[in-house]
């Protein structure tokens, strides 16, 4: 049994595996299958200031080795989240990352203010959602606004670790990462989904009612590993890696690239037990290689 | 809601119409709790997303469930390649099924095409108290006729091209039966235009219980990811329901067409 625990900007995770925001809801449905305490942490569904219904259906499409989604941040709003979901989650003996999103900087600040007085362990600020018309990805694709929004949100969260979630839909991810680091982010997480599209050739219509959506799943894995590696080399704050991780080997690979913890999204649709299996497989890998602590592999890739 | 995920053995496979397969799967823990109208979310090798397929028959005594599906695309094609003795990975039973009432004296079950399978589990519950009206494109795609007969239900078959049974849509015999009255409940699954028409006809005839099973593309299948939203109304307020959890069966009154 190796030591799987990791520390990400002062927060202890019993293992590095975190179901990603949006695929896991608030954990209730998965609790039927396994105890949530087995997880390193949980990133909750993106929450906005007021309730959102999201985009019209269909909101999901299959792609080669992956999928597209265009949910569009359907959620009950921050007050309902704080009143009904968060207290329950905080009892589960796992790290809770509250994922938040807004269509204006003000909105993001207001949501963060509401969370600052709760016991949530970390805030994950999504500046990269491709599925909302205003804000969302627009913040995440310009280094200046990304830095500004980070600074303003961090301002109201002096005591809580702030993770800023980055978009892969940019020319240079390291510029954005450096900018949010300068703005006071305690960590960054990446990648959010990659903008994609599928068309039904029999009807000539896009499969998603939103026409375009965010791609995730194994197909984006190499892209995510590259971006995690570049970002980890560009900033001093920890990187939480995600994008296409579906096995323990994938998680190890992404940690070697520089990730301090790993989020798992689409793989949970394929196999709801994926996070549990990934934890087990990581443990087996470390045991076989006689590596004592998972922390030893973070950023251990030896580039040519 | 209770469900499990596991790999279960296919005890019986048969091709029951062109491109349409029936699997009987041994899964006692699923059979034990499954309800008519619920579905299984099936993993298919090589695909990221599972495929939702209705539970067609539940045999608690033998610990089996049956599914019947048609090849529609790559996923169902791959699924059809499994054989007797192979393992099938299912997350089941999922969703909110049909409301059953042992006091009902006469119920109508309507299945359009590949929407027919979930009607069989209802026929097995209601037996002789049920009339199953099933509609297909043509004689080659008629399914489950023998099974409906064995359940005790009366089965009226319609085909679009008249190559078998009544020439025309299911709404024609449905209208005739409605006229005679005495119907306690209507249950339906099939294409949206059919469901819409059935809901309207049921409403016009003051049928208090009209339940329909909807389809939507799914991710998690258990209510966590919110991809399967469909617009419904609850107490006259618009509400985004999740087909996988609050559905797939809805009261016709709740659906916004
Ligand atoms: C609750 C429910 C019960 C169902 N029961 C049955 C059944 O008993 N028998 C049967 O033959 N079919 C049933 N279906 C439809 C079945 O899920 C689709 O035909 C199947 O998913 C198509 O997969 P594919 O890979 O062959 O097609 P593709 O078009 O290649 O699939 C691509 C993606 O779209 C999804 N998709 C495509 N069509 C549908 C659809 N109509 N509904 C939902 N998702 C779809 C697939 O799941 C997959 O994620 C049911 C659907 C739902 C929602
Ligand atoms: C259905 C779905 C909904 C998502 N919703 C959110 C969200 O609300 N907020 C967010 O920051 N990311 C969201 N994401 C992105 C994931 O958290 C993750 O960044 C992305 O899917 C890449 O990981 P994966 O390849 O393991 O899925 C969503 C992804 C999916 C598939
Ligand atoms: S498919 Fe995930 S909520 Fe319905």
Alpha helices in A45-172 (DSSP H): 78-80, 86-89, 105-116, 137-140, 143-155
Q: Which residue of B has its CA nearest to A70?
A: B227
Residue range B125-153: mean pLDDT, rounded: 96
- Ligand 3 centroid to Cα of residue B29, in Å, is 22
pLDDT > 70? residue A135: no
- Which of B87, B224, B234 is most worth mutating to test chain A (most A CB atoms within 10 A of its CB)? B224
The pLDDT value recorded for residue A131 is: 56
Contacts of B88 in chain A (CB under 8 A): none
Q: What is the pLDDT of residue B176?
A: 94
Over residues A276-300, the pLDDT tens digits come to 999 999 999 999 999 999 999 999 9
- The string of pLDDT tens digits covering residues A72-95 is 999 999 999 999 999 999 999 999
Render pLDDT for B149-163 as a digit per residue (tens, 0 to 9).
Answer: 999 999 999 999 999
According to CATH, what is the number of the domain B4-94? Answer: 2.40.30.10
Instruction: Decide: helix, strand or coil at residue A189.
Output: strand
A147-161, A214-228, B88-102, B229-243: range with lowest mean pLDDT? B229-243
With contacts defined as CB-CB under 8 Å, which chain B residues touch A61? 217
Mean pLDDT of B202-218: 95
Q: In the predicted model, what is the mean pLDDT of chain A?
A: 95
Of the listed ligands, the closest to the CA of B113 is: 1
Candidate from A30, A58, A66 with C-beta closest to B217:
A58
Q: Is the CB of A248 under 6 A from ligand 2?
A: no
Return the CATH fold of B107-213: Rossmann fold (3.40.50)
User: Is residue A129 predicted with pLDDT exceeding 90?
Assistant: no
The dihedral sign for the CA sequence B160, B166, B168, B172: negative
The predicted structure's pLDDT at residue A117:
95
Mean pLDDT across chain B, nearest whole number?
96
Q: Please tell me if residue A245 touches chain B, with a CB cutoff of 8 Å.
A: no
CA distance A175 to A142: 9
CB–CB of B119/B249 below 8 Å? Answer: no
Contact yes or no for A135/A103 (Cβ under 8 A): yes
B50–chain A nearest CA distance, Å: 6
Q: What is the pLDDT of residue A155?
A: 97
Question: Residue B168 above 80 pLDDT?
Answer: yes
Q: Taking residues A144-168, report their average pLDDT.
A: 95
Instruction: Determine the average pLDDT of the residues in A184-212.
Output: 97
User: Which B residues 26-85 touch A at CB under 8 Å?
Assistant: 43, 47-50, 75
Q: Give the model's pLDDT for residue A246.
A: 98
Q: What's the 3-state SS for B86-110?
A: CEEEEEEEECECCCCCCCCCCEEEE
Over range B19-29, report the average pLDDT: 97
Q: How many CB pairs under 8 A join A and B?
A: 98
Q: Between the CA atoms of A150, A153, A158 and A162, what dihedral angle is there, to the nearest 10 degrees?
A: -60
Using a 6 Å cutoff on CB, does residue A224 contact ligand 2?
no
Q: Which residue is closest to A20 within chain B, CA to CA?
A: B225
Please tell me the distance in Å from B201's CA to the nearest CA on chain A.
26
Determine if residue A291 is left, alpha or beta; phi over 0 gives left, psi from -120 to 50 gives alpha, anything else beta.
Answer: beta
**CB contact (8 A) between residue A67 and residue B48:** yes
Q: Which sequence spans correspond to the domains of chain B? A: 4-94, 107-213
Judging contacts by C-beta atoms under 8 Å, the chain A residues touching residue B76 are none
Ligand 1 first shell, C-beta below 6 A: A 62; B 39, 49, 51-54, 68-70, 72-76, 114, 117, 215-217, 248
How close does chain B come to A131, measured CA to CA in Å? 12
* pLDDT of residue A24 exceeding 60: yes
**What confidence category does residue A201 fall into, taking pLDDT thresholds of 50, 70 and 90?**
very high
Task: Give the pLDDT band of residue B251 (cuts 50, 70, 90).
Answer: very high
Q: Give the pLDDT band (50/70/90) at residue B239.
A: confident
Residues of B in contact with A20 (CB under 8 A): none
pLDDT of residue A136: 53
For B140, which DSSP code? Answer: G
| CATH top class, domain A6-297 | alpha beta
Confirm or reject contact between A31 and chain B (CB < 8 A). no
Region B165-179: mean pLDDT is 95
Is residue A129 among the annotated active site residues? yes
Q: Which of A9, A108, A129, A142 is catalytic?
A: A129
Nearest ligand, CA of residue B226?
A: 3
In DSSP terms, which residues pair with B155 in a beta bridge?
B132
Residue-wise pLDDT tens digits, B78-132: 999 999 999 999 999 999 999 999 999 999 999 999 999 999 999 999 999 999 9
In angstroms, what separates the C-alpha of A296 from chain B's closest C-alpha?
Answer: 31
Minimum mean pLDDT range among A53-67, A132-146, A254-268, B91-105: A132-146
Domain boundaries defined on chain A: 6-297
* Residue A236 predicted with pLDDT over 80: yes
Res. A133: pLDDT tops 60:
no
The model's confidence at residue A165, banded by pLDDT at 50, 70 and 90, is: very high
% of chain A with per-residue pLDDT over 90: 91
pLDDT score for A137 = 57
Q: Decide if B220 and A29 are in contact by the 8 Å CB cutoff.
A: yes
pLDDT category, B234, cuts 50, 70, 90? confident
Q: A31, A57, A207: which to substitute to probe chain B, counting the most B Cβ within 10 Å?
A: A57
Q: What is the pLDDT of residue B192?
A: 95
CA distance linking residue A163 with residue A232, whole number of Å: 14
Average pLDDT (A251-272) is 98
Q: Given CB atoms, is A25 within the 8 Å cutoff of chain B?
A: yes
Which tokens hold the place of B83?
Answer: 């054989």
- The rounded percent of chain B whose pLDDT value lies above 90 is 95
- Asked if B114 and B136 count as a contact pair (C-beta separation under 8 A), the reply is no
């Amino acid at each position: 049994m190796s030591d799987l625990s990791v520390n990400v900007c002062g927060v202890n995770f019993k293992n590095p595996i975190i179901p990603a925001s949006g695929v896991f809801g608030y954990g209730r449905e998965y609790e039927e299958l396994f105890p949530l305490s087995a997880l390193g942490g949980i990133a909750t569904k993106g929450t906005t200031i007021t309730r959102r219904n999201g985009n019209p259906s269909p909101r999901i499409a299959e792609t080669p080795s992956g999928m597209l989604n265009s949910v569009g941040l359907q959620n009950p709003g921050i007050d309902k989240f704080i009143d009904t979901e968060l207290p329950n989650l905080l009892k589960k003996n796992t790290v809770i990352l509250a994922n938040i999103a807004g269509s204006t900087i003000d909105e993001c600040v207001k949501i963060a203010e509401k969370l600052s007085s709760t016991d949530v362990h970390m805030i994950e600020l999504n500046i990269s959602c491709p599925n909302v018309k205003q804000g969302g990805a627009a913040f995440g694709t310009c280094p200046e606004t990304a830095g500004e929004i980070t600074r303003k949100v961090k301002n109201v969260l002096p005591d809580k670790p702030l993770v800023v979630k980055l978009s892969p839909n940019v020319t240079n991810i390291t510029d954005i990462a450096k900018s949010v680091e300068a703005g006071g982010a305690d960590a960054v997480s990446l990648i959010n989904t990659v903008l994609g599209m599928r068309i039904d050739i029999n009807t000539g219509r896009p499969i998603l009612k939103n026409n375009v959506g965010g791609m995730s799943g194994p197909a984006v894995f190499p892209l995510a590993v590259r971006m995690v590696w570049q970002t980890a080399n560009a900033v001093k704050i920890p990187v939480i890696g995600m994008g296409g991780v579906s096995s323990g080997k994938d998680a190890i690979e992404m940690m070697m690239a520089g990730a301090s913890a790993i989020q798992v999204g689409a793989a949970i649709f394929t196999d709801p037990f994926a996070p549990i299996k990934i934890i087990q497989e990581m443990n087996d890998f470390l045991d076989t290689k006689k590596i004592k602590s998972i922390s030893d592999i973070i950023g251990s890739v030896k580039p040519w | 809601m209770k469900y499990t995920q596991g790999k279960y053995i296919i005890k019986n496979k048969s091709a029951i119409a062109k491109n349409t397969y029936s699997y009987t799967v041994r899964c006692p823990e699923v059979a034990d709790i499954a309800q008519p109208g619920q579905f299984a979310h099936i993993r298919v090798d090589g695909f990221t997303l599972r495929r939702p397929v209705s539970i067609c028959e539940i045999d608690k005594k033998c610990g089996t469930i049956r599914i019947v599906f048609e090849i529609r695309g790559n996923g169902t094609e791959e699924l059809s390649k499994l054989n007797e003795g192979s393992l099938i990975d299912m997350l089941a039973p999922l969703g909110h099924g049909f409301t059953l009432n042992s006091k009902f004296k006469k119920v109508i079950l309507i299945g359009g095409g590949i929407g027919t399978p979930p009607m069989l589990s209802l026929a097995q519950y209601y037996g002789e108290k049920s009339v199953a009206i099933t509609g297909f494109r043509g004689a080659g795609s008629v399914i489950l006729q023998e099974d409906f007969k064995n359940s005790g239900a009366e089965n009226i078959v319609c085909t679009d091209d008249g190559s078998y049974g009544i020439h025309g849509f299911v709404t024609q015999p449905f209208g005739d039966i409605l006229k005679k009255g005495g119907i306690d409940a209507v249950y339906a699954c099939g294409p949206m235009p059919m469901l819409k028409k059935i809901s309207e006809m049921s409403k016009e005839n003051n049928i208090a219980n009209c339940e329909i099973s909807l389809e939507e593309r799914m991710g998690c299948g258990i209510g966590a990811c919110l991809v399967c939203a469909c617009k419904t109304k609850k107490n006259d307020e618009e509400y985004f329901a999740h087909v996988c959890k609050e559905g797939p069966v809805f009261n016709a009154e709740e659906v916004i067409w």
